[in-house]
Structure 1
Amino acid sequence: MIAPARRRAARSRAGLLAVAAGLVLHFAADSAAGSFAADALYAVLLFALVALVVPRWPALRIAAVVFAACAAIELAQLTGVPAWLSTAIPGAALVFGTTFQFTDLIAYAFGAALAAAVDGGIGKRAAGSP
């Protein structure tokens, strides 16, 4: 089993990398693929944050919570509240978005699943499992 301190460090690095890469994609990639990747990285960041708060949870539980949170935020965009927040609070659009897109839900599911697979693989490799 991987030491808790090493796992926390790996999760922290993953979160920081997700922020950096997601911001680069958000501002530099003006394509559907770039938007999809940025949304997937948003889910990876949330996975890292949830995993740091509840480190003993299994990766699949974390992924489920992350997808539920991402989906709730995306569905809230149908109300117009996130769009209003983005005009009232600088930077809120980066967290809450502004307009609903179904493909964002797919990106969040992909990002959460990818993070769970990588996180689960780190634990197995450290334990000596194939």
Structure 2
Amino acid sequence: MTVHRRVRHEAGPARRRRSRLALAAIAVIAVGLAVRAFGSATGLDVIAKPAGDACYAVLVVVLVALVRPTARTWVVAAVAWAVCAAVELAQLTGVPAHLTKAWWPARLVLGTTFNGLDLILYAIGVALAGGADAWIGRRAPSRVSGAPSPR
């Protein structure tokens, strides 16, 4: 019976975290699309492209955390960067470019052409998101003891 209560108690914070992460994902998607539209409308792709890549990485961090809300921040960040790197390296195969011809929204997720600089921009986005998550996690008191969370 004690185990049941503990699992039930942990489900509450994880559920609240998932709700916040889902809202964050929506916000990051909106910001990313706005950055893309701004860059296209103003011709400032030099700024919009790197900002969009960083937003992409932030979104991946949020999605990884959404899947594993109780994972440590560094694990979420490492997995998110690995996912971003895998997507970028897949562009060397030409498969993402082919998929975007069949369905244009795939371009927003998979990209079309490899750029090594994107790997650095993804690392920056992951670091910013991971740092923000760690900072927020430290500021949020634990529901059990009232002490700061160990995230």
Shared fold (TM-score greater than 0.5)? yes
**Structure 2 CA distance, aligned partners of 1:16 and 1:44?**
12
Q: Name the residue aligned to 2:111.
A: 97
Q: Name the residue aligned to 1:87.
A: 101
Provide Cα deviations, 1:2-24, integer angstroms capped at 9, x if missing partner. Answer: x4344223222221111001011
Q: Name the residue aligned to 2:9.
A: none
For the pair 1:8 / 2:18, whether they are aligned, the reply is yes
Query: What secondary structure sits across from 2:90 in the alignment?
Result: helix
Provide Cα deviations, 1:43-83, integer angstroms capped at 9, x if missing partner. Answer: 11111111111111101111111101111110111111111
Amino-acid identity (%): 47
**Structure 1 CA distance, aligned partners of 2:136 and 2:123?**
20
Q: Name the residue aligned to 1:37.
A: 51
- Structure 2 unaligned runs (5+)? 1-12, 142-146
**Structure 2 CA distance, aligned partners of 1:27 and 1:75?**
25
For the pair 1:27 / 2:41, whether they are aligned, the reply is no
TM-score (norm 2): 0.78
Amino acid at match of 2:109: V
Length, aligned pairs only: 128
Task: Note the C-alpha offset of 1:99.
Answer: 0.7
Q: 2:132 aligns with which of 118, 125, 128?
A: 118
TM-score (norm 1): 0.90
RMSD: 1.6
Instruction: Choose 51-60 or 29-38, whichever is displaced more.
Output: 29-38
Task: Note the C-alpha offset of 1:88.
Answer: 1.0
Q: Which has the larger radius of gyration?
A: 2
**Structure 1 CA distance, aligned partners of 2:36 and 2:99?**
19
Matches within 5 A, 1:56-67: 56-67=70-81
